[in-house]
Structure 1
Amino acid sequence: MNNVMTAAVLTRFGGTEALELHHDWLRPRPQDHQVLVKVTAAAVNNTDIWTRQGAHGLPEDPTAQAGWLGSFDFPRIQGGDITGIVVEVGHGVTEELSSRRVLVDPAIYGCESENASPVGYLGSEADGGFAQYVAVDVTHAHDVLDSPLSDEQLACLPVAFGTAIGILERANVRGGETVLVTGASGGVGRGC
Structure 2
Amino acid sequence: MSVSLPAVMAGVVLTGHGDMDKQQYRTDLPVPVPGPDEVLIRVRAAGVNNTDINTRIGWYSKSGADADDASWAGKALEFPFIQGADACGEIVAVGSNIDAGRVGERVLIEPCLREADGQPLERFWYFGSECNGGFAQYTKVAARHAHAIHSQLTDTELASFPCSYSTAENMLTKARVAAGDTVLVTGASGGVGSAAVQLAKARGANVIAVTSPAKSDELLALGASRTVDRSENMISALGKDSVEVVIDLVAGDSWPDLLEVLKPGGRYAVAGAIAGPHVQLDVRTLYLKDLSFFGCTMLEPEVFPNLIKRIENNDIRPLVAHSLPLAQINEAQSLFLEKKHTGKIVLTVED
- Tell me the TM-score normalised to structure 2 length: 0.49
Label 1:88 to 1:151 Cα distance change in 2 as closer, same or farther (>3 A): same
Alignment-derived partner of residue 133 in structure 1: 138
Instruction: State the AA in 2 paired with 1:75.
Output: P
Distance in 2 between residues matched to 1:181 and 1:160, nearest whole Å = 17
Label 1:118 to 1:175 Cα distance change in 2 as closer, same or farther (>3 A): farther
Q: Please, which runs of 5 or more residues in structure 1 have no aligned partner?
A: none
Structural mapping, 1:136-175, within 5 Å: 136-144=141-149, 146-171=150-175, 173=176, 175=178
Alignment-derived partner of residue 80 in structure 1: 85
SS at match of 2:25: strand
Distance in 2 between residues matched to 1:68 and 1:10, nearest whole Å = 16
Distance in 1 between residues matched to 2:143 and 2:123, nearest whole Å = 17
What per-residue deviation string (whole Å, max 9, x for no partner) do you get for residues 24-72 of structure 1?
11110111121100000001100001001111113xx256432222311
Residues 11 and 135, structure 2, Cα contact 8 Å, conserved in 1? yes
Residues 15 and 52, structure 1, Cα contact 8 Å, conserved in 2? yes
- Cα displacement (A) at 1:89: 0.8
What per-residue deviation string (whole Å, max 9, x for no partner) do you get for residues 168-191 of structure 1?
2443x1544515242444322314
Label 1:109 to 1:62 Cα distance change in 2 as closer, same or farther (>3 A): farther
Instruction: State the AA in 2 paired with 1:148.
Output: Q
Distance in 2 between residues matched to 1:118 and 1:160, nearest whole Å = 21
Among candidates 23, 26, 31, match of residue 19 of structure 1: 23
Alignment-derived partner of residue 44 in structure 2: 40
Alignment-derived partner of residue 128 in structure 2: 123
Instruction: State the AA in 2 paired with 1:178.
Output: D
Larger Rg, first or second structure (1 or 2): 2
Label 1:187 to 1:75 Cα distance change in 2 as closer, same or farther (>3 A): same
Residues 37 and 95, structure 2, Cα contact 8 Å, conserved in 1? yes
Alignment-derived partner of residue 183 in structure 2: 180
Residues 73 and 123, structure 2, Cα contact 8 Å, conserved in 1? no
- Cα displacement (A) at 1:119: 1.2
Residues 56 and 62, structure 1, Cα contact 8 Å, conserved in 2? no
Alignment-derived partner of residue 60 in structure 2: 56
Does residue 7 (structure 1) correspond to residue 11 (structure 2)? The answer is yes
Instruction: State the AA in 2 paired with 1:147.
Output: S
Label 1:110 to 1:177 Cα distance change in 2 as closer, same or farther (>3 A): farther
Identity %: 39
Distance in 2 between residues matched to 1:83 and 1:179, nearest whole Å = 33
Alignment-derived partner of residue 109 in structure 1: 114
- Cα displacement (A) at 1:98: 0.8
Alignment-derived partner of residue 96 in structure 1: 101
Give the superposed CA RMSD: 2.2
- Cα displacement (A) at 1:166: 3.4
Structure number with greater CO (CA < 8 Å, separation at least 6) is 1
- Tell me the TM-score normalised to structure 1 length: 0.86
Distance in 2 between residues matched to 1:89 and 1:109, nearest whole Å = 19
Residues 38 and 84, structure 1, Cα contact 8 Å, conserved in 2? yes
Label 1:6 to 1:162 Cα distance change in 2 as closer, same or farther (>3 A): same
Q: How many residues align?
A: 184
What per-residue deviation string (whole Å, max 9, x for no partner) do you get for residues 70-122 of structure 1?
311111100010000111111111111111111111111169xxxx9961111
Instruction: State the AA in 1 paired with 2:27.
Output: H
Distance in 2 between residues matched to 1:110 and 1:37, nearest whole Å = 17
Label 1:110 to 1:97 Cα distance change in 2 as closer, same or farther (>3 A): closer
